[in-house]
Amino acid sequence: MDMTSAPPAILQPAQRLQQAGLLKGLQIGSLSLESSVVMAPLAGISDLAFRILARRHGAAMVTSEMVSAHGLIQRQKKTLSYLRTSAEESPLAVQIFGAEPAVMEEAARIAVDAGAAVLDINAGCPVRKVVRTGAGGALLKQPELFERILARVRRRCSVPLTVKMRTGWSHHSPVVLDLARMAEECGVDAITVHGRSVPQGFGGKADWDIIGEVKTRLRIPVIGNGDITEPVHAIAMMEKTDCDGVMIGRAAIGNPWIFSQVLALSAGLPPRAPSPEERREAILSHFELLSELEGSTRAARRMRGLLLWYTKSLPFSSRFRGAITSITDMSSLMAALDLFLDKLAAAGATH
Ligand SMILES: Cc1cc2nc3c(=O)[nH]c(=O)nc-3n(C[C@H](O)[C@H](O)[C@H](O)COP(=O)(O)O)c2cc1C
């Protein structure tokens, strides 16, 4: 979709009312966010470099990938590395997963000591390795354990506490409706609802009606999540659910502009697509951040992956993406990128 051809006039009157909502900011406990548009946790993707790019392009808050509470209390090097943060990405929400109240409590303390501005608990992950241990989405079928975890973490956690939930352990039983209330009673400061059940994985469509239903039952902010793939969807989600904020995940991969585009649309401006030059700059910034954080050798190894992210579904990209699969050295990758972006610029393509 060409973003420049999507003027705000396409918004329906009810959607216009929601525009200001996204710009209004979001209060999560004692933390005031500058807008209501936040970045989702994405395991294997939302590392520090990715998060900084998202913040630079307008995400009001970013979230770490999910971090094992066990790994944290055992001080595992790799797990602790997920807590690495910098002032530029602040405020950072650190998401932890686990199924033992004492372990979760201690892990929360470690995350906060490392700089988390918000502590988020994962109650939605459908990955077998995680649910087998009773953690992630499996918390949705163990309400008493879930409550004990929240109560203990709340007692110990000195920063705002949030929970990210799917709708239920089974597709036909949207337990999120009751568990969100339970979480509020435990002192949780905001709830994110991904409108899919655990067995759904990423299939089907996110159920925004359930997000709206949760919103009617709570006093604390509800952040809606699932299937915002274009800026206008953020406004549509707010309209449909009356949620207080929106969280964007997959659409931000290789596309940090989605955040500024949502904000532009919310301000009544046409969401502007990045020019080929801006795309190049973002890719280079991402690469430079990776080089600083992980060293140039590892960053170079990840360059091809970055290029695949940042060129997904662009015109002429399939040939470019095919061509770079056999290129390994940095300078050839950059030369191929320049050729591709020149072609994009020549065609006047800005999406
Ligand atoms: C690759 C990948 C990794 C994810 N990792 C996490 C995670 O660590 N914690 C979490 O709560 N959700 C995780 N999710 C779910 C997303 O945060 C989000 O809820 C989901 O993708 C729906 O939002 P979207 O349609 O905007 O992508 C992940 C999703 C993907 C695709």
How high does pLDDT run on average in the chain? 92
User: How far is the centre of ligand 1, averaged over its atoms, from the C-alpha of 264 (Å)?
Assistant: 24
pLDDT per residue as tens digits for the range 140-151:
999 999 999 999
Q: Which CATH number fits domain 3-266: 3.40.1190.20, 2.102.10.10, 3.20.20.70, 3.40.50.300?
A: 3.20.20.70
Taking a C-beta distance cutoff of 8 angstroms, is the pair 248, 37 a contact? yes
Ligand 1 atom closest to the CA of 192, numbered from 1: 19
pLDDT band at 21 (very low <50, low <70, confident <90, very high): confident
pLDDT recorded at residue 9 = 44
- What is the average per-residue pLDDT within 160-171? 97
Which one of 127-141, 261-275, 298-312 scores highest in mean pLDDT?
127-141
Beta strands in 40-127, from DSSP E residues, in sequence order? 62-63, 67-68, 92-97, 118-123
From 92, 96, 194, the mutation candidate for ligand 1 (largest count of ligand atoms within 8 A of CB) is 194
- What is the average per-residue pLDDT within 273-295? 94
The domain defined by 276-346 folds into: 1.10.1200
* Residue 192, strand partner residues: 164, 223
Based on the residue annotation, tell me whether 243 is a catalytic residue of this protein. no
What are the residues whose beta carbons fall under 8 Å from the beta carbon of 288, sequence distance 6 or more? Answer: none
Domain extents in the chain = 3-266, 276-346
pLDDT per residue as tens digits for the range 185-215:
999 999 999 999 999 999 999 999 999 999 9
pLDDT recorded at residue 20 = 62
Residue 97 predicted with pLDDT over 90: yes
pLDDT recorded at residue 23 = 80
Backbone angles phi, psi at 276, to 5 degrees: -55, -40
User: How far is the centre of ligand 1, averaged over its atoms, from the C-alpha of 230 (Å)?
Assistant: 16
43 lines ligand 1 (CB under 6 A): yes
